[in-house]
Chains A and B, each alone.
Chain A
Amino acid sequence: MQQEVIVAGFGGQGVLLTGQLLAYAGLLEGKHVAWIPSYGPEMRGGTANCSVIISDQNIGSPLVEEPGAVLVFNQPSLEKFAKRVRSGGILLINSSIVTGEVKRQDIQVYRVPASQIAAQLGNDRVANMVLLGAYLELTGAVSTESVLKALAKVLSKGKSGLLEINRKAAEMGALAVRRSAAAEA
């Protein structure tokens, strides 16, 4: 199995960190991982994205051509990446911020009000974790526990209190896509 995912949004939304947590979680589960950030003459508020590969085998090309899933946190990223999702793949949209249409019929589109859910939890900065939780629910790429373990390693000592809200955010994200799947069925 090889999971290929792109996370895209504005700089400052935790886009690069979300990808890193996913890669780190894969590593903790003994898988092969590669994480590549977009890098360029970018600034806070500009667009940022990263690609992550999690694989049972040695990773050949570390680049993601046709992602199996894309997590979209802003409008420009929707325009840029919706067309690259592999046929049958997953497009996860933070619908609190991104309202644009998706014309493709051959992919699964999930709209999760991630920023709204995060705000209800009391910290709008965990919107990334809401969408990541939804992604994990849909793909089982890694376990939520591994992601939280990775987060615990990344967080500085004074901030370990943030773990709980991140756990809740991931759960709410998972719940949101479970509900939408149930509604369709």
Chain B
Amino acid sequence: MKVLMKGNEAIGEAAIRAGCRCFFGYPITPQTELPEYLAKRLPEAGGVFLQAESEIAAINMVYGAAGAGARVMTSSSSPGISLKLEGISYLAASELPCVIVNIMRGGPGLGGIQPSQSDYFQATKGGGHGDYRMIVLAPASVQELADLTAEAFELADKYRNPVMLLGDGILGQMMEAVSFRPRTALPAQDKTWATTGCRGRARNVINSLYLDPEKLERHNRHLQEKFRQMAENEVRSETYRTEDAEIVVVAFGTAARIARTAVDSARMQGIRAGLVRPVTLWPFPDQAIKSVLASCRALLTVEMNAGQMVEDVRLAVAGARPVHFYGRTGGMVPSATEILREIQNIAGVAYGASVS
């Protein structure tokens, strides 16, 4: 059955259905409906909702709960995520599964509260210190927020690693129809590494401190092998009308939704446009982009930032085609009309060139 829900609330409901029973967070616009929803629903489901004294406290509570084997989540928006980064590095180093939600707002600094995608670098390129990676999922609808929330918990457990769900203020605030598909959660007893009391078994240690550099390098090699497996197995993307596309737009999240409308408009004008939408931002879908190059003359990356994912698109394209960029910043959102104009310019329509 489909219900009408705000994106933020849908994440909360999906988390509970995925077996999440612990949430630690601190309010910040535009994601506060998520903790608000869980404050009501988690106690009903027998879980723990705790509004921490700060984002830093919250992420370290996540560390504790994850170490004890709980399915646990925290959420925030851009400046709050910056505060959590030290903890995220510790979680990755200690191989603790958890889900971190970032409903992005305009930055840098305290910035504003309107939607943005300007934390792409932070999410995909480390953010915190040290050599670590985490899977970054970028939903583009309320339904996908729910689906990817459930998947995020599974991926976190599968790799014993933090997973980030990266949305923006529009996705968090908007209401769309959503249905919650039943999923099976890994039972907690499979987490044989968790610190649950060691009577009757050897002691489990959860730690990120290795003062012996040889041991720390060994630990790093182990982590890197795990990140390599994630990169190999967990790439997700979607293509739209790319089969014969001359101009391929690359966009994620809300920007991808708007770009899809622009692609349809371009097609109506006879411009063969298409869209590649990365669903995982890390690992980045290089292959999906390479696979559209045959028919493609040029690419256009559209983001709600000053140009971040465009660097990964250029790496994937490796100079084979020109990669253009269009972005809005500070909480401003590109319109379908603006994106269409960019597509037209690249297609040469503005200069009267043929695009048949």
Contacts and interface: CB of A to CB of B under 8 A. Distances in A.
Contacts of A12: none
A33 B176 contact: yes
B177 interface: yes
Interface of A: 20, 23-24, 27, 32-37, 39-41, 59-63, 65
A63 B113 contact: no
Interface of B: 2, 4, 29-30, 113-114, 169-170, 173-177, 254, 257-258, 260-262, 264, 333, 335-337
Contacts of B254: 62
A35 B174 contact: yes
B212 to A, nearest CB: 51
Contact of A60 (B2, B258, B333): B258
Nearest to B265: A60
B287 to A, nearest CB: 25
Contacts of A27: 2, 4, 177
Contacts of A60: 257-258, 260-261, 264, 336
Given A34-B175, A63-B336, 10 more contacts: A20-B4, A24-B4, A33-B175, A35-B175, A35-B176, A60-B261, A62-B254, A63-B258, A65-B335, A65-B337
Contacts of B2: 27
Given A60-B257, A61-B260, A37 B333 contact: no
A32 B257 CA distance: 14
A40 B173 contact: no
A63 B333 contact: yes
Contacts of B30: 39
Contacts of A20: 4, 175
Contact of B261 (A33, A37, A61): A61
Contact of B173 (A37, A59, A61): A37
B233 to A, nearest CB: 29
Contacts of B257: 59-62
Nearest to A30: B2
Contact of A35 (B4, B264, B333): B4
Contacts of B264: 60
Contacts of B335: 61, 63, 65
B177 A41 contact: no
Contacts of B260: 60-61
A14 to B, nearest CB: 16
Contact of B29 (A24, A36, A39): A39
A165 B343 CA distance: 50
Contacts of A62: 170, 174, 176, 254, 257
A36 B342 CA distance: 25
In the A-B complex, list the 3 residue pairs whose CB atoms are closest, starting with the nearest: A60-B261, A61-B261, A35-B175
B170 A36 contact: yes
Contacts of A35: 4, 174-176
A34 B336 contact: no
A32 to B, nearest CB: 7
A40 B114 contact: yes
A40 B113 contact: yes
14 contacts: A20-B175, A34-B174, A35-B4, A35-B174, A35-B176, A36-B170, A36-B173, A36-B175, A39-B29, A41-B113, A60-B264, A61-B262, A62-B176, A65-B335
A123 to B, nearest CB: 25
B177 A33 contact: yes
Nearest to A53: B176
